[in-house]
């Protein structure tokens, strides 16, 4: 019965929520019940995936591909504002819920091994389940406010999980930074909602999008403002310039969290939002150019920083920022299917890379723990040659590396190629897109380079872990390598989702998403490229990727590395890149410290204490003192006496009234 | 019924003086629970579209036109329920905190209850004034006798500020009654009478509004009349802080909704007055938040956060759209719940460590996980995380205010960043970070009694965040009526001038 499976759509988010409640209760009452926690934590994800798959299959059988909206209760009924707690399944959210629950289930499973010895095991799974719940609300919400519940909810879980090991201040700081930076973006989301409501009188997706074309003149100031405010929200959640700085710090969280939240799902929410609001962005060419431009710039900028990071997770973090930039380049160009395609393939290969890094860190950590060494388990200068100890991890991560570099026939090749081709094609209409395309190509070169660097330093050359510790390095248990293998399979085959006609494919994902993107496509028609141009672009991109890989293999000398504590300080441009272009320092000097100083030294100590309190109190000093004297006289009396007096007074009032 | 709500706690206060000291708190708890039981049926029997209900209107001092008139509408209904809901929790929350002169303390709490309810249900301006004073005195003693080290200063400051405002209000009430009597020949303090006989007061209206404004703005408190609040909060015992923040501040915004704006709509909607109030509300939101951010004292931080929250309420009232006024009414309730819970938690931390300083803690989530979990949830509600009560109210205010004042609403939306900036770092420094103080290593987690205090509040936080409709449905007609009457009479008076 297809109908009944769609009716059970609420189960998809409700199952992880139930997991949160149960695991949360266990975390507070019986934190040691690890078996129950694992069963619940992974079980609800598997069930949610099954429920999602069932709902999507049932939905796919419906003719027309119109969204299915399930309304549960009235949430904010105030006058002309009518917001329901409602979920919407359409072809876009179908893709998203499968990615979220599917990749999510694999990462939950990996966590069973990775977090096994952690005293906060139950709390960890409670948070992780809660995250999946909010992420599903984000992609299933049928209106802007319901989506916003998920939008801020995933930010909360990100905050809780980044600061998971909260007794170290650096972790707690990183979580707080993530939340506050995200909130800056969230204000953009809020203001966009206010503008949309004022203009269209609704916040439901269906209403807003159907009224948009009739309400907003194309290219008008209002729609441009709305879309730019929405995009401000995206720069926070999806870590784009200028609000990307929280994501590298977010690597303080457990590594599976980085894989799930900070690579595969949450950070792609902004891409989803732009794709979801494709109609609005299609009406605002300037905003679309901003989206594509910021995406391209971020892709290139983050890739430069990734060149010089030593922490294996930080490399991957900047790589994620960079890849998200590609996705925004795609959706900003109007190639929504390409952007979502890259979102999906990226979730496969980047989750694989992060979980692989987790497997490496797991091994390193155990080795250092066993030998009581205090070296950095995440610094690549302490690794080297690990392919001998971690053969599965090494080969699977190589697959992902080739995929992210864009080599055929891996998943990343098809999706990245589609984005770059679309950007190049757009250049024919708006030449600025040629610059965006060039930035994308340059970033691709750097991507191939820094990923090869990561692999080279981690898995090849001589081992630098240390004599004693080396003996303790070993491959992770099957619960961890199993998910890696599954993701490896997806990375190998994921490109099949949307093979372009150039290679004899049928662009399946593109056609699947057509009902969602059609309205935007009509407003912003795609530009067709000739076959020859397409072939030239593809071959050029592959050549660039190959150049990056070969360049890294030739230029980098893993043998020259020394362990981190012996390494000399960076100099010159290398230092600037290692210091991340000093952007954090800049924000700190220009924003954070001035605001703190203003609040403490001016607002509190001068305005509040001296001006307001000082002047007002001094101005009324005489009265104050006189009353103070009266007060102190009253103070000496027996309180009970005054209570009696008062009660008599009150009762006299009432008595007189009722008389 | 409403009369019983005022009379019962007053009688119980008297009764309390007769029971042995060691029973005092239990009797007070029973009395306040009974009070809640009296009030709760209002939830079901209240008719949303029924206007003013449960009225009793009898002469009191006929010679002066003073009546004993009480009633409840959609604006006051939830303030009455909130008061009767918070009082038993405050009593229960004081069980271990108050160790001296218990009879007096609990008697004053009950007396305060009578005064607070009296303020919210009075429909006669003289009665309102009397109740306003009845509420003032017990709070003065609660702070002055059971407060912290600097209690006397704080109590007097609280008293002077509020008393100053209320004297001005009394003058304004008398002037309003006198001027109306001059024109109609009838001396009456009746709210209904004064509302149905609005006079062309001319420039005097500005002065009368100004007097009401001062009285209420001090209570809200609006910048720059707010500096009594941090002192009072810091020094007050837990229950005093909870009721001060939860209920007493709402008397200010309630006063605007019930009296100052409906009586003088042409003044309230005068462009200069609108600008001034909206600007002060924004200053409250941003400035209150920024100053809260740098407070070393947890209770002071919460106090300044109240300035910010109430700034949202003022913005919502003045924006005069259905969403913004409904949002303002919700935030008035939510602030009582969330800030009340925050003050309870601050008190529980204080009882464990005898310090209100944020720096005295750190890393205690490992020692007291339950307390940490509740504190996290309550903080999230206070910073307006969606699906908690805090979001629903502020979202409606901002959405509605954006229709009237788009620029102001955008600035106010920045307040949600500031909220995260003051509460999350404080939360981090209390429950996260290294557990580096030996005194904190053996703190006891929440006791069943403390849980009984907090869980009802936590339940409300989630319930109102997910399903606020039962409240919105009951307040909507009153909010609509408020907006329409203010707009209509402002238009009429402007046209008639």
pLDDT tens readout for residues B383-413: 999 999 999 999 999 999 999 999 999 999 9
The predicted model gives B449-475 an average pLDDT of: 95
Q: CB distance A627–B114 less than 8 Å?
A: no
Lowest-confidence segment of A574-583, B137-146, B360-369, B375-384 by average pLDDT: A574-583
Cis (ω within 30 of 0) for the bond into A291? no
Instruction: Tell me what pLDDT residue B39 has.
Output: 95
Q: CB distance B409–A194 less than 8 Å?
A: yes
Identify whether the C-beta of residue B242 lies closer than 8 Å to the C-beta of residue B465: no
Q: How confident is the model at residue A659 (pLDDT cuts 50, 70, 90)?
A: very low
Q: Which of B7, B160, B323 sits opposite A654 (nearest CB)?
A: B7
Q: CB distance A194–B7 less than 8 Å?
A: no
| Separation CA B42–CA A103 (nearest Å) | 51
The predicted model gives B335-350 an average pLDDT of: 95
Q: CB distance A167–B434 less than 8 Å?
A: yes
Tokens of B292: 């809260």
Tokens of A248: 């590298």
Identify whether the C-beta of residue A295 lies closer than 8 Å to the C-beta of residue A240: yes
If you search the block for the tokens 């080795």, which residue do you land on? A367
| Separation CA A513–CA A640 (nearest Å) | 76
Q: CB distance A656–B68 less than 8 Å?
A: yes
Instruction: Supply the DSSP symbol for B433.
Output: S
Helix, strand or coil, per DSSP, at residue A125: helix
Identify whether the C-beta of residue B217 lies closer than 8 Å to the C-beta of residue B256: no
Closest-CA residue of B relative to A202 is B399
Integer-rounded Cα radius of gyration of chain A: 28
In 3D, which of B285, B328, B287 has the Cα closest to residue B308?
Answer: B285
| Separation CA A143–CA A203 (nearest Å) | 6
Residues in chain B closer than 8 A to A653 (CB atoms): 60, 68, 127, 130
Integer-rounded Cα radius of gyration of chain B: 22
Which residues 6+ apart lie within 8 Å of B459 measured at CB? Answer: none
Q: Å from B114 to nearest chain A CA?
A: 9
Find which of A27, A78, A226 to mutate to test the B interface (most B CBs within 10 Å of its CB).
A78
Q: How confident is the model at residue A284 (pLDDT cuts 50, 70, 90)?
A: very high
Q: CB distance A149–B103 less than 8 Å?
A: no
H/E segment holding residue B82: helix B74-93
**pLDDT at residue B243 greater than cutoff 50:** yes
Q: What is the pLDDT of residues A358-381, one digit of tens each?
A: 999 999 998 888 888 888 889 999
| Separation CA A354–CA A360 (nearest Å) | 10
**pLDDT at residue A635 greater than cutoff 70:** no
Number of Cβ within a 10 Å radius of residue A372: 8
Instruction: Tell me what pLDDT residue A626 has.
Output: 56
Residues in chain B closer than 8 A to A249 (CB atoms): none
| Separation CA B227–CA B161 (nearest Å) | 10
Between A513 and B495, the more confident residue is A513
Q: CB distance A635–B152 less than 8 Å?
A: yes
Q: Å from A189 to nearest chain B CA?
A: 10
What ipTM does the predicted assembly reach?
0.93
Question: For A351-479, where are the E strands, in sequence order?
Answer: none
Q: Å from A252 to nearest chain B CA?
A: 14
Task: Give the strand pairing for A81-89 and B53-61.
Answer: unpaired
Instruction: Tell me what pLDDT residue A658 has.
Output: 44
**pLDDT at residue A518 greater than cutoff 90:** no
Identify whether the C-beta of residue A122 lies closer than 8 Å to the C-beta of residue A27: yes
The predicted model gives B4-20 an average pLDDT of: 91
Helix, strand or coil, per DSSP, at residue A85: strand
Residues in chain A closer than 8 A to B424 (CB atoms): 159, 176, 179-180
Instruction: Tell me what pLDDT residue B98 has.
Output: 84
The predicted model gives B117-142 an average pLDDT of: 93
Between A586 and A38, the more confident residue is A38
| Separation CA A294–CA A326 (nearest Å) | 10
Find which of B7, B160, B373 to mutate to test the A interface (most A CBs within 10 Å of its CB).
B160
Instruction: Give start and end residues of each alpha helix (H) in B94-150.
Output: 102-121, 125-146
Q: What is the pLDDT of residues B248-260, one digit of tens each?
A: 999 999 999 999 9
Find which of A650, A658, A659 to mutate to test the B interface (most B CBs within 10 Å of its CB).
A650
Instruction: Tell me what pLDDT residue A275 has.
Output: 93
**pLDDT at residue A604 greater than cutoff 70:** yes
Instruction: Tell me what pLDDT residue A469 has.
Output: 83
| Separation CA B73–CA B50 (nearest Å) | 8
SS3 content of chain B, % helix, strand, coil (to 5): 80, 5, 15
Instruction: Tell me what pLDDT residue A2 has.
Output: 47
Q: Percent of chain A at pLDDT above 70?
A: 93
Q: Dihedral angle at the C-alpha atoms of A313, A319, A321, A325, nearest 10 degrees?
A: -170
Residues in chain B closer than 8 A to A596 (CB atoms): 293-294
Helix, strand or coil, per DSSP, at residue A14: helix
Closest-CA residue of A relative to B324 is A78
Find which of B3, B10, B325 to mutate to test the A interface (most A CBs within 10 Å of its CB).
B10
Closest-CA residue of A relative to B412 is A187
Q: Which of A187, A616, A627 sits opposite B413 (nearest CB)?
A: A187
Q: How confident is the model at residue A598 (pLDDT cuts 50, 70, 90)?
A: confident
Instruction: Tell me what pLDDT residue A82 has.
Output: 92
If you search the block for the tokens 């400035």, which residue do you land on? B287
Q: Dihedral angle at the C-alpha atoms of B106, B111, B112, B118, nearest 10 degrees?
A: 150
Q: CB distance A153–B385 less than 8 Å?
A: yes
Between A498 and A636, the more confident residue is A498
| Separation CA B40–CA B36 (nearest Å) | 6
- Name, of A613-627, B187-201, B300-314, the range with top average pLDDT: B300-314
Query: Where does residue B195 rank: exposed (0-12), middle (13-18), buried (19+ CB within 10 A)?
Result: middle
| Separation CA B33–CA B377 (nearest Å) | 26
Instruction: Tell me what pLDDT residue A1 has.
Output: 43
Helix, strand or coil, per DSSP, at residue A530: coil
The predicted model gives A28-55 an average pLDDT of: 92
Instruction: Tell me what pLDDT residue A473 has.
Output: 86
Mean pLDDT, chain A, whole residue set: 88
Lowest-confidence segment of A115-119, A628-632, B290-294 by average pLDDT: A628-632
In 3D, which of A321, A483, A318, A347 has the Cα closest to residue A412?
Answer: A347
The predicted model gives A111-135 an average pLDDT of: 93
In 3D, which of B456, B436, B425, B298 has the Cα closest to residue B367?
Answer: B436
Instruction: Tell me what pLDDT residue A647 has.
Output: 55
Identify whether the C-beta of residue A58 lies closer than 8 Å to the C-beta of residue A2: yes
Between A651 and A57, the more confident residue is A57
Instruction: Tell me what pLDDT residue A37 has.
Output: 93
| Separation CA B444–CA B370 (nearest Å) | 10
Q: CB distance B366–A167 less than 8 Å?
A: yes
């Amino acid at each position: 019965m297809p109908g009944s499976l769609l009716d059970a759509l609420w189960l998809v988010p409700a199952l992880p929520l139930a997991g949160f409640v149960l695991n949360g209760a266990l975390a507070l009452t019986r934190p040691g019940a690890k078996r129950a926690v694992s069963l619940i934590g992974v079980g609800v994800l598997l069930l949610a995936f099954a429920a999602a798959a069932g709902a999507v299959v049932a939905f796919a059988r419906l003719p027309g591909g119109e969204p299915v909206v399930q309304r549960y209760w009235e949430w904010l009924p105030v006058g002309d504002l009518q917001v329901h707690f409602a979920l919407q399944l359409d072809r876009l959210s179908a893709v998203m819920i499968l990615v979220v629950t599917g990749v999510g289930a694999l990462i939950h499973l990996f966590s069973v091994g990775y977090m096994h010895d952690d005293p906060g095991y139950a709390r960890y799974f409670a948070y992780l389940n809660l995250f999946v719940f909010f992420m599903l609300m984000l992609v299933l919400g049928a209106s802007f406010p319901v989506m916003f519940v998920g939008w801020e909810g995933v930010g909360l879980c990100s905050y809780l999980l980044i600061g998971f090991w909260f007794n170290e201040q650096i972790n707690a700081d990183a979580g707080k930074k993530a939340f506050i930076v995200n909130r800056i973006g969230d204000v953009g989301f809020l203001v966009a909602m206010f503008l949309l409501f004022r203009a269209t009188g609704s916040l439901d997706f269906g209403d807003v999008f159907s009224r948009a074309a009739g309400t907003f003149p194309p290219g008008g100031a209002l729609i441009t403002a709305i879309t730019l405010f929405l995009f401000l929200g995206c720069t926070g959640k999806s870590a784009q310039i200028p609000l990307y700085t929280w994501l590298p710090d977010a690597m303080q969280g457990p590594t599976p969290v980085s894989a799930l939240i900070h690579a595969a799902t949450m950070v792609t929410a902004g891409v989803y939002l732009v794709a979801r609001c494709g109609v609005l962005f299609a009406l605002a060419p300037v905003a679309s150019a901003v989206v594509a431009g910021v995406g391209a710039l971020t892709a290139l900028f983050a890739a430069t920083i990734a060149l010089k990071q030593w922490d294996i997770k930080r490399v991957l973090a900047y790589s994620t920022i960079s890849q998200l930039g590609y996705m925004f380049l795609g959706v900003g160009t109007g190639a929504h299917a390409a952007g979502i395609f890259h979102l999906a393939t990226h979730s496969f290969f980047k989750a694989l890379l992060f979980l692989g890094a987790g497997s490496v860190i797991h091994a390193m950590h155990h080795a250092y723990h066993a030998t009581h060494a205090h070296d950095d388990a995440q610094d690549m200068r302490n690794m080297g040659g690990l392919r001998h100890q971690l053969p599965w991890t090494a080969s699977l991560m190589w697959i992902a590396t080739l995929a992210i570099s864009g080599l055929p026939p891996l998943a990343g090749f098809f999706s990245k190629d589609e984005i770059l081709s679309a950007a190049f094609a757009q250049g024919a209409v708006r030449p600025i897109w040629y610059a965006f395309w060039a930035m994308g190509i340059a970033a691709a070169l750097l991507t191939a380079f820094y990923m090869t660097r990561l692999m080279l330093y981690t898995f090849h050359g001589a081992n630098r872990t240390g004599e004693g510790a080396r003996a303790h390095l070993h491959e992770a248990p099957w619960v961890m390598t199993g998910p890696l293998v599954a993701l490896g399979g997806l990375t190998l085959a994921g490109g099949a989702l949307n093979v372009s006609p150039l290679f004899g494919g049928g662009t399946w994902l593109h056609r699947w998403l057509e009902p969602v993107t059609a309205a935007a496509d009509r407003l912003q028609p795609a530009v067709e490229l000739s076959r020859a141009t397409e072939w030239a672009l593809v071959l050029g991109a592959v050549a660039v990727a190959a150049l990056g890989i070969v360049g890294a293999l030739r230029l980098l000398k893993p043998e020259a590395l020394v362990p981190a504590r012996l390494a000399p300080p960076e100099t010159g441009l290398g230092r600037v890149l290692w210091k991340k272009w000093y952007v954090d320092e800049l924000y700190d000097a220009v924003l954070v410290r001035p605001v703190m100083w203003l609040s403490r030294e001016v607002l509190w100590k001068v305005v509040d204490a001296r001006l307001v309190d000082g002047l007002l109190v001094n101005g009324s000093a005489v009265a104050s003192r006189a009353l103070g004297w009266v007060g102190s006289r009253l103070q000496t009396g027996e309180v009970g006496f005054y209570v009696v007096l008062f009660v008599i007074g009150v009762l006299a009032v009432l008595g007189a009234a009722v008389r | 019924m409403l009369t019983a709500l005022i009379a019962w706690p007053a009688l119980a206060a008297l009764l309390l003086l007769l029971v042995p000291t060691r029973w005092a708190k239990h009797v007070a708890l029973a009395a306040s629970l009974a009070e809640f039981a009296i009030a709760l049926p209002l939830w079901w029997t209240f008719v949303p579209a029924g206007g003013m209900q449960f009225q009793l209107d009898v002469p009191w001092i006929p010679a002066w036109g003073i009546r004993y008139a009480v009633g409840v509408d959609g604006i006051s209904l939830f303030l009455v329920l909130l008061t009767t809901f918070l009082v038993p929790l405050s009593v229960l929350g004081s069980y271990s905190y108050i160790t001296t002169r218990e009879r007096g303390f609990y008697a004053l709490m009950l007396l305060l209850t009578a005064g607070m309810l009296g303020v919210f249900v009075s429909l006669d301006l003289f009665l309102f004034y009397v109740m306003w004073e009845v509420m003032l005195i017990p709070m003065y003693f609660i702070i002055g006798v059971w407060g912290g080290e600097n209690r006397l200063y704080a109590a007097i400051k609280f008293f002077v500020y509020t008393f100053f405002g209320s004297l001005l209000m009394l003058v304004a009430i008398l002037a309003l009654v006198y001027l109306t009597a001059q024109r109609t020949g009838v001396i009456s303090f009746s709210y209904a009478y004064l509302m149905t006989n609005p006079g062309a007061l001319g420039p005097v209206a500005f002065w009368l509004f100004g007097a009401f404004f001062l009285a209420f703005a001090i209570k809200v408190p609006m910048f720059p009349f707010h500096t009594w609040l941090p002192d009072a909060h810091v020094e007050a015992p837990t229950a005093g802080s909870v009721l001060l923040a939860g209920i007493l501040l709402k008397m200010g915004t309630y006063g605007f909704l019930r009296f100052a704006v409906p009586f003088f709509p042409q003044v309230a909607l005068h462009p200069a007055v609108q600008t001034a109030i909206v600007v002060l509300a924004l200053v409250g939101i941003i400035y209150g938040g920024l100053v809260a951010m740098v407070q070393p004292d947890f209770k002071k931080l919460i106090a300044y956060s109240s300035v910010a929250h109430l700034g949202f309420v003022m913005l919502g009232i003045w924006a005069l759209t259905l969403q913004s006024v409904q949002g303002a009414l919700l935030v008035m309730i939510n602030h009582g719940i969330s800030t009340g819970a925050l003050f309870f938690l601050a008190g529980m931390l204080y009882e464990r460590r005898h310090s209100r300083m944020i720096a005295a803690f750190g890393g205690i989530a490992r020692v007291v996980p339950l307390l940490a979990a509740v504190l996290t949830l309550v903080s999230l509600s206070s910073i307006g995380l969606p699906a908690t009560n805090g979001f629903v109210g502020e979202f409606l205010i901002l959405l509605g205010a954006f229709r009237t004042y788009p620029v102001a609403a955008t600035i106010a939306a920045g307040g949600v960043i500031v909220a995260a900036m003051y509460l999350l770092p404080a939360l981090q420094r209390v429950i996260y970070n290294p557990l580096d103080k030996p005194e904190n290593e053996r703190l006891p987690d929440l006791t069943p009694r403390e849980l009984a205090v907090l869980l009802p509040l936590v339940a409300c936080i989630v319930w109102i965040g997910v399903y606020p409709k039962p409240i919105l449905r009951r307040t909507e007609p009153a909010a609509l009526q408020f907006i329409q009457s203010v707009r209509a009479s402002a238009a009429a008076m402007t046209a008639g001038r």
